[in-house]
Amino acid sequence: MQAPCVAQLPSRGQPVHASTRVAAAQLHTCALGSRHIQRATVQPRPTTLHSLSRGPDLKCPARPGRTPSLGSWSEGGGSYAEASARGFTQRTRPHPSRRRPLRPAVRRRAAQGEGGGRSTGEEPGCDPDGPVLADLDTDPAPQEASELFGEKQFSFDRGAAARWLYVAWVVCCGVERTWRFGLPLILAQLPGGFASVATLGFVAQLSMFLLGPLIGVVLDSIDRRAGLLIVLIGQNLMVVVSCMLVAWCLGPGGGGVISPAAFAVMAIIACAQRILNAGTDVAIERDWTVVLANKNTKWLVDINANTRRIDQLAEIAGTFLFGLVFTKYGSVAALLTMAGLVALSCPAQLLATAKMSRIMGEALFRPTDTPGAGMLGLRLMAESSDSSPGTLAHQRLMEVAGHSVRAAFYSVRAIVNGWRLFFAQRSLLPSLAYIALFFNAVLSPGGLMTAYQASKGLPGTTSALFRGSCAAMGFVGVWLADVTIKRLGLVRAGFASLGVQAAALLPCMYIYFARLAPVDAALGASVASQGAQAIAAAAPPPVEAATGIAAALGFPSMELAAFCGLVVVSRVGLWMYDMCVSQVFQTMVPSNICGQVSSAEAALCSLTELLMLGIASLLSDPANFGRLVVLSGSAVAVSLVIYAAWGLQLRSGEGRAGNVSMDEERALTLPNAGKDSGGVAPA
């Protein structure tokens, strides 16, 4: 019995049988992504293996007007025909998990050594025009054929998908940022509202630290589309329920006070909303963005920059709209406006998710060997329609169902596994440097800085201008990060961003200890006990009056104006590093565990905020404000040292010993390493 003609490929320079050329052309057509096997148009003149490797005579009817050149696929100096023969031989013997029995007629012809097509007088077993691949294997899918030459590559309109991603992100940020500003503003009007706001913030951060990694496990265990819809709809539902509950407390039924039962429900909602918000950030920024950009450096830079601009614009517009309605029409009108915003956002989010899913298609499918791909049996149910009792598919479904039930009882183990994965990642040091920045509690536009400004006699309009300037610096930081990453590379851009922040805060600390600290030492009132107004009344007048622009802006002294101005400048470096560390994460963390690792990182950030709340409560006296300044400045310095150590590790080659691949190192260190030549990045 004679073997198929594909296995009889001659050496270089010898004549090649026509069916061999057909097989190679069909394999090339399949690798290009055709859904069906196409016959190649073969010229009648004699051909050698050398000419076959250059491919002058092969044309692919599946792609009109396109003539594939097999010589361009040569690797390592060998011809593509030889590589095709090796790959084609492997496809004739597929993996046992993919192998299916041949049709009886095909098996009989193969045993008899007969051709699969019409009789042409050629050698037995070779049919020049017959479907060679179809006879030797069944349904060679295009993604399986591309596996012979490398990783799966999906082709879709990335620009259109990015635009729908921006739609979903702007709606999500608008709802979350507006309600994060509006809820404390409304609760502050009720008796005991300040204590309620502080308690809700503490409980939400604590729940994020304890249960945050669990949302990452869930997102990694289900389909990407289902996971995104769950967190988006859940977030909107929590906002609507919160609006109804607060409106009831403000109305006649609640008596204008927050009852213990209502506060307990509000605390549960705050915890769920905090976790769902983190899940939304993880799903869009750390998962869908990576799938959309395919880890291309240029696309990642542009998408990350655009999402951060959208975040800042949504926060500014949402807070302005809510504050305007609240000031002119009251709390009830503001709550109705918020509910209407949520009602409009739900259809927009569903439409954007559906459009992205339709455009991206198979790129959203998780590999079958990922930790959670088969947890709910989605992949299995899609592959097999026969799951009746007694079949192998039914048995596997029962195993998957049992695993899902057990996973519900082992959530603690899943959380611990998320922490273990986080500390095992190659991007651990940049993440720790990012977490260390959360210890910067006072040299930032937070509540402690606002209280300190009030203690120095700063008017409320100037404090609002300070916060708005810090938000505006976010746009500058994102633009500088975009330019710096493309010109210097990711690692150098991250180091430069932390350097900018440290360079701005160093003179800021000097101004405080040289000119402002002696005045603060005279204050004995407590920020936590007496409040900002009492501290402002007890504060001594500034020694030197402000002049010029500082006086026009409302600053009582030049020292305080310089102190606040340097804090504003430092926000540029913070936003630059936020973009850099996100791209480091997207480049180095596998997509199948990005949810668990991201949620663990967010949980550590929540723990850092909890620690800073405790430290600030212990050092709430204005005389101790200098200690908080030292702690904030030291946090930035420690972050810079950690990141510099990681950069030196990559440069010395130790990073490659930690499983940093050459492609990842190139994407991290070289500017424009991922320049996309196949299209224009999304605007």
What is the tens place of the pLDDT at every residue in 624-638?
A: 788 889 999 999 999
Considering its fold, how many domains does the chain have in total? 4
- Given CA atoms 106, 111, 112, 113 in this order, what sign does their dihedral have? positive
Q: For the domain that residue 434 is a member of, what is the CATH number?
A: 1.20.1250.20
Torsion of CA 243, 471, 462, 553, to 10 degrees: -150
Instruction: Name the burial class of residue 122, with classes exposed (0-12), middle (13-18) and buried (19+) by CB atoms within 10 angstroms of its CB.
Output: middle
Is the domain of 345 the same as that of 431?
no
**SS3 call for 15:** strand
The pLDDT value recorded for residue 285 is: 86
* Nearest by Cα to 331 from 206, 183, 473, 468: 183
Is the domain of 602 the same as that of 645?
yes
Is the domain of 583 the same as that of 461?
yes
| Bridge partners for 59 per DSSP | 41
* Nearest by Cα to 139 from 106, 176, 162: 106
Residue ranges in the chain modelled with pLDDT below 50:
1-99, 114-151, 368-388, 393, 397, 400-401, 404-405, 407-408, 524-543, 655-659, 662, 674-683
- Residue 486 within any structural domain of the chain: yes
Q: Tell me, letter by letter, the H, E, C secondary structure of 289-311.
A: HHHHHCCCHHHHHHHHHHHHHHH
| Residue bearing tokens 């010898």 | 14
The pLDDT value recorded for residue 464 is: 74
Is the domain of 286 the same as that of 388?
no
- Residue 419 within any structural domain of the chain: no
- Residue 314 within any structural domain of the chain: yes
Is the domain of 343 the same as that of 323?
yes
Domain that holds residue 391: 369-409
Separation CA 585–CA 562 (nearest Å): 35
The pLDDT value recorded for residue 435 is: 92
- Residue 345 within any structural domain of the chain: yes
Is the domain of 545 the same as that of 565?
yes
Is the domain of 477 the same as that of 349?
no
Q: Residue 461 phi/psi, 5° resolution? A: -65, -35
Is the domain of 443 the same as that of 539?
yes
The pLDDT value recorded for residue 167 is: 93
Is the domain of 356 the same as that of 374?
no
Is the domain of 534 the same as that of 590?
yes
Residue at which a domain ends, from 409, 441, 467: 409
Is the domain of 205 the same as that of 288?
yes
The pLDDT value recorded for residue 569 is: 93
Q: How far is CA 565 from CA 505, 513, 520, in A?
A: 10, 16, 19
Degrees (nearest 5) of the Cα angle 108, 148, 392? 60
Q: How far is CA 449 from CA 443, 456, 464, 537, 574, in A?
A: 7, 11, 12, 17, 17
Residue at which a domain ends, from 146, 181, 205: 146
pLDDT tens column, 442-456:
888 877 787 788 777
Separation CA 276–CA 110 (nearest Å): 58
pTM above 0.85, yes or no: no
Residues 6+ apart with CB under 8 A from 349: 168, 171, 172, 232, 233, 236
- Residue 151 within any structural domain of the chain: no
Degrees (nearest 5) of the Cα angle 304, 309, 311? 95
- Residue 683 within any structural domain of the chain: no
Alpha helix ranges (H) inside 378-515 = 378-383, 392-409, 411-423, 428-436, 447-455, 460-488, 490-511
Is the domain of 322 the same as that of 375?
no
Separation CA 114–CA 1 (nearest Å): 9
- Helix pair angle (297-329, 158-187), 10° resolution: 30
- Residue 679 within any structural domain of the chain: no
- Residue 538 within any structural domain of the chain: yes
* Nearest by Cα to 528 from 584, 582, 455: 455
Residue at which a domain ends, from 409, 437, 472: 409
Instruction: Name the burial class of residue 286, with classes exposed (0-12), middle (13-18) and buried (19+) by CB atoms within 10 angstroms of its CB.
Output: buried
